[in-house]
Amino acid sequence: MLSYRHIYHAGNHADILKHLVASQICRHLTKKDAPFFYLDTHAGIGLYELASDQAQLNQEYDTGISRLMERSDLPEPLERFVEIVKELNPEGELEVYPGSPMVVDHYLRQKDKMHLCELHPNDYPVLAALFPKKRVANVVKDDGFLAVKAMLPPPQKRGFVLMDPPYEVKNDYKKVVKALEEGHKRFAQGTFAIWYPVLNRRQADDLLNAVAATKIRNTLLLELNIRGTETKRGMAGSGMIVVNPPWTLEKEAAEFLPFLRDALAEDQDAHFQLRWITPE
Ligand code: SAM
């Protein structure tokens, strides 16, 4: 089943957390001269037109990026991320919002490489057209869960794997943990980030427990809920599970998570979690 289209959700609170963490991971990787590899298992279309009918349907970007564009008090990591969005919107109006491949592309150097998987028959060609240069970006219409086996370990020996499945099919919760185990077995020193939605507490906790049960070390959890988890149907929040995070991420998140909780809160029950699932 491939009914999920990310454009309906582009720029929402969950994208902000995901892309902010991706941005910080890339900043860390580019501190060293050595090239790095990026694998995006579920890449989407790369760039989202916010004036499109789909994005306009629920205007989800109003729960996220719209609230941050004009703020002058952003924590530094968030300021850097919002600058990426501003560069893509040189007229000053918020017209487009970057997907994960575009966020990473901002940091990519000539020597780095990315491998982007997108299975949707309509979304794949849009993404492929955005990244025509195969030397830097390889865009494939493949199952991203399988790419974890096929593409790891990368020749660069350093890198970042983002797993961002739609979770419309419940099996994605199992597949993402299995893919993490398989990927980590092949590329233990790599940074892995799994995004997940908080639709209800139990489902999210089941995933976190399954990740803990893998016993993979050095796994940090960042979760942001913009309202009480059980108050309304839909996505109250989302999280990023990061294996081998940059050593600075915990400290940075201790500042940007409370900021985002307050800036994006929909009710007084907005909250965040920042903790180690497993220590180093
Ligand atoms: N990572 C993107 C971003 O942050 O901009 C958003 C990705 S969206 C949440 C999930 C994407 O995965 C959808 O575009 C969907 O078509 C695609 N997809 C679903 N199952 C897939 C699979 N098994 N392999 C690759 N892509 C898949």
Q: Count CB-CB contacts under 10 A for residue 106.
A: 18
pLDDT in tens, 149-174: 999 999 999 999 999 999 999 999 99
CA of 80 to the centre of ligand 1 (A): 25
164 annotated active-site = yes
Give me ligand 1 centre to Cα 15, in Å. Answer: 13
Which of 19, 88, 119 to mutate to test ligand 1, by most ligand atoms within 8 A of the CB atom?
Answer: 119
Q: Rounded to the nearest whole angstrom, what is the distance from the C-alpha of residue 77 to the centroid of ligand 1?
A: 25
CA of 167 to the centre of ligand 1 (A): 10
Q: Name residue 134's amino acid.
A: K
This prediction has a pTM of 0.98
Per annotation, catalytic residue among 33, 164, 205, 269: 164
Q: pLDDT digits over 180-192, tens only?
A: 999 999 999 999 9
- pLDDT bracket for residue 1 (50, 70, 90): low
**Residue 267 banded pLDDT, cuts 50, 70, 90:** very high
CA dihedral 255, 261, 263, 265 (to 10 degrees): -170
Q: What is the pLDDT of residue 2?
A: 80
Flag whether pLDDT at 145 surpasses 70: yes
CA 32 to chain centre: 22
Whether 259 has a pLDDT exceeding 70, the answer reads yes
Does residue 28's CB lie within 6 angstroms of at least one atom of ligand 1? no
The answer to the question of whether 87 is labelled as a binding residue is no
What's the pLDDT at 34?
Answer: 98
The answer to whether 243 touches 186, Cβ cutoff 8 Å, is: no
Residue 231 predicted with pLDDT over 80 = no
Q: In this predicted structure, what is the pLDDT of residue 221? A: 98
Q: What mean pLDDT comes out for the span 244-249?
A: 98
Give the closest residue to 232 by CA, choosing from 269, 272, 273. Answer: 269
Structure confidence by residue, pLDDT tens digits, 12-45: 999 999 999 999 999 999 999 999 999 999 999 9
> What's the CATH fold of domain 6-278?
Rossmann fold (3.40.50)
Q: Tell whether the model's pLDDT for residue 194 goes beyond 90.
A: yes
Q: Is 115 in the pocket of ligand 1 (CB under 6 A)?
A: no
| 90-128 confidence digits (pLDDT tens) | 999 999 999 999 999 999 999 999 999 999 999 999 999
- Domains of the chain, by residue range, sit at 6-278
Residue 143 beta carbon below 6 angstroms from any ligand 1 atom: yes
Q: Model confidence over 200-210: pLDDT tens digits?
A: 999 999 999 99
